Amino acid sequence: MSGRPRSRRSASAIVVAVTDARGRQIPGGAALARWLTSHAPRAARGHLTIAIMSDAAMRRLNKQFRGKNMATDVLSFPPDAVAAGSNRSFLGDLAIARGTAARQARQLGHSLQTELRILALHGLLHLLGYDHETDRGEMGRLEDQLRQRAGLPAGLIARS
């Protein structure tokens, strides 16, 4: 018997790829992917991609998909019907604005790595179907629980 602690999830429950806006690997991306894999809720199953992008690129996405002409910190894109019908479980895509995340991290007194974790966790919960604007606090409670287990400071919902 090994002295290593057992993971609370199987290695195949969630697969995370972290890239830039063009799909290229980025420094630190593998660490964020490993972190989210180990701290995702048990219900998370399948593949997801996180694109870390410029504020300008995020502004364009936010304008195109939400009608808001401003950068935001994280956007979640659930799978479309084609991806959902494939033989591979696809959770969706997340887009995170690096500049916005860096500013928020500075304002809140923690590292960019910590802010990226907070944003990735929040976005993942949206991909799992949670919506803090309509679910009477369910997403906020789960985000708080997961955040506390992971040793993260206040999540996005608690900040607002």
| 3: in domain | no
- Asked if 88 contacts 117 with a C-beta cutoff of 8 angstroms, the reply is no
* Residue 157: band (very low, low, confident or very high) from pLDDT cuts 50, 70, 90: confident
| 20: in domain | yes
In this prediction, residues 22-36 reach a mean pLDDT of: 94
Q: What would the DSSP string read from start to end of 129-150?
A: T--TTTSTTHHHHHHHHHHHHH
Residue 6: DSSP 8-state: P
Q: What are the C-alpha distances in Å from 66 to residues 61, 71, 125, 156?
A: 8, 11, 18, 18
pLDDT attached to residue 86: 54
| 6: in domain | no
pLDDT attached to residue 133: 84
Cα–Cα distance, 96 to 3 (Å, whole number): 37
pLDDT attached to residue 85: 52
In the numeric block, the tokens 């993260």 are attached to 152
| 55: in domain | yes
In this prediction, residues 149-158 reach a mean pLDDT of: 84
Cα–Cα distance, 128 to 149 (Å, whole number): 19
pLDDT at 11 over 50: no
The pLDDT tens digits of the residues spanning 100-152 come to 999 999 999 999 999 999 999 999 999 999 988 888 889 999 999 999 999 99
What is the average pLDDT score of the chain? 87
Instruction: Name the pTM for this structure.
Output: 0.86
The pLDDT tens digits of the residues spanning 72-85 come to 999 999 987 445 55
| 42: in domain | yes
pLDDT attached to residue 6: 36
Can you give the residue range of the structural domain that contains 65?
A: 14-154
Structural domains in the chain (count): 1
- CATH number of the domain at 100, please: 3.40.390.30
| 9: in domain | no
| 8: in domain | no
| 69: in domain | yes
